[in-house]
Amino acid sequence: PSETKLTSAEVVQITKDTNYGTWRYQKGWNPLHIVDAEGCYITDGNGKKYLDFSSQLMCMNLGHKNPAVIASIAKQAEELAYAMPGYATTTRAELSKLLLEVLPKGLNKFFFTTSGTDANEAAFKIARMYTGKTKIIARYRSYHGSTSGSIAATGDPRRWAMEPRGKGPGIIFAPEVNCYKCPIKHTYPTCGIACVDYLEHMIRNESDVAAVIVEPIVGTNGILVPPSEYMPRLRKICDEYGVLMIADEVMAGWGRCGTWFAMDLWGVTPDILTTAKGITSAYVPLGLCATTEKIGDFFQDHYFSHGHTYEAHPMTLAPAVATIKEMQRLGLVERAKELEPFVEEKLQALKAKHRSIGDVRGKGLFWAVDLVKNRETKEPFNTYVDKVSGKPLVVDQIAGKLAADGVMIQAWVSHIVIAPPLIVTKEELEKGIDALDRHLSIADELCV
């Protein structure tokens, strides 16, 4: 029988009827039917084009339809679609060599996964096997993944849904770094970065600490940029107490912050770096857990008790090779750095105009516009409790208006994320920020 093409309405209906919509109530889920994408734009089933102003989930750093990445996938499929992880493949060796070039120096032993979540799960297991210790210190306002271990180490309230069945074992939380709204009510720089002192205090007063995990620049929870002394100081503390430092660069890595990795901003090498998203520019699912040689050496004589069927899957590695080469060829890391002052200036101008903007912050092409009811009190329009109770959020109303205007943007509880593909032009940046400018009046009018 000849196949009849599904209409857009049918595609949406079947998806809604048969799939889970994630991190939401199923009622009211009305997914957009995406049919095409190119460069910084996506097109829906009605032919409407949108500027992709947050690179989907802050992951399509190269933009859509990069010919070299597409070709690498086709070539790999023809040559060798799968080889079990115990084998060596040419693609695996090529990618490993490139990673040695771009990762912070000293990270030279790799474990390839298929997401950021399982890269962090690997990091926790490696840290525990290596140190023989159990506890992981994570920070509030962080996200490390959706499965048991990584959600237990997630500092934001997405963790709460798991907790009626008990807290994840061996995880403790430190205060986040947030100089706009400090959780311990200090002011930078007079505080002398007291939040790191507190972390040290925790390590000193806890037994059995294996590692500290940090997002070097916190992503979903608000593009929180630490003061420049924070990471070097944390590195020293970890060294002093024999605690491993894990940098979760799932979102902040791959040129997003104007350096290959966010840790490069401060010249700090963690003991373990995890990443995903931009490693293949999201063309295929790949995650990475990279460790130092010292940790690698430990497993010469200790059993490396971890692995997956799809670990180091050739189809996931080939596009990573192509992505890194494309980033180098197009100079995208430098480009993100160059565009930083342009975005900052535009967003500061937006802040001067809109009283609902409490703060704008970021690095490279990774920015948050933080909305508040009142600049004095810094009270947000909504909290996570509003989100999970299904209340319409101010940021979502604004994002909805932008979508109608042809700009897709990610919003989270009380801030809006600006993270376009690194190939974005100044004109496209202006287009997206101008659209935001047009619709911030929704929030301005609610200010008290």
Contact positions vs ligand PLP (CB under 6 A): 115-117, 120, 143-145, 215, 219-220, 248, 250-251, 276
- Strands in 357-363's sheet, in edge-to-edge order, are 357-363, 366-371, 415-418, 410-412
CB of 6 to ligand PLP, least distance (A): 28
Yes or no: say if 446 and 381 are a contact pair by the CB < 8 Å rule.
yes
In sequence order, which residues have a C-beta less than 8 Å from that of residue 344 and are 6 or more positions away?
Answer: 360, 362, 367
- How many angstroms separate the CA atoms of 60 and 64, rounded? 7
> For ligand PLP, which is the closer residue by CB, 220 or 281?
220
Closest CA to 307 of 54, 41, 95, 121: 121
Residue matched to tokens 């994002």: 399
- Give 250 or 360: the residue with its C-beta nearer to ligand PLP: 250
- Minimum Å distance from CB 308 to ligand PLP? 13
Task: Give the span between the Cα atoms of 365 and 419, in whole angstroms.
Answer: 5
First and final C-alpha spacing in the chain: 63
Minimum gap (Å) between residue 176 Cβ and ligand PLP: 13
- Half-sphere exposure for 23 (CA within 13 Å, toward CB): 11
Work out how close the CB of 63 gets to ligand PLP at its nearest, in angstroms, rounded to a whole number. Answer: 19
User: Shortest distance, CB of residue 287 to ligand PLP, whole angstroms?
Assistant: 6
- Nearest approach in angstroms of CB 60 to ligand PLP is 13
Sign of CA dihedral 14, 20, 24, 25: positive
Shortest spacing between CB 220 and ligand PLP, in angstroms: 5
Question: Based on CB atoms, which residue is closest to ligand PLP, 151 or 372?
Answer: 151
Cβ at position 123, least distance to ligand PLP in Å: 10
Distance between CA atoms of residues 336 and 284, nearest Å: 23
The rounded distance, in Å, linking the Cα atoms of 259 and 337 is 7
Q: Is the peptide bond before 420 cis (omega within 30 degrees of 0)?
A: no
Tell which residue, 438, 257, 239, 446, has the closest CA to residue 365: 257
Q: Between 251 and 321, whose beta carbon lies closer to ligand PLP? A: 251
CA distance 355 to 106: 45
**Nearer to ligand PLP by C-beta: 159 or 439?**
159
Q: In this complex, which beta carbon is closest to ligand PLP, that of residue 271 or of residue 428?
A: 271
To ligand PLP, the closest distance from the beta carbon of 447 in angstroms equals 30
Q: DSSP letters along 240-266, please?
A: HHT-EEEEE-TTTTTTTTSSSSGGGGT
Closer residue to ligand PLP (CB): 23 or 82: 23
- Name the residue nearer to ligand PLP (CB basis): 108 or 147: 147
Residue nearest to ligand PLP (CB): 116
Q: How far apart are CA 347 and CA 356, in angstroms?
A: 13
Cβ-based nearer residue to ligand PLP, 248 or 311: 248
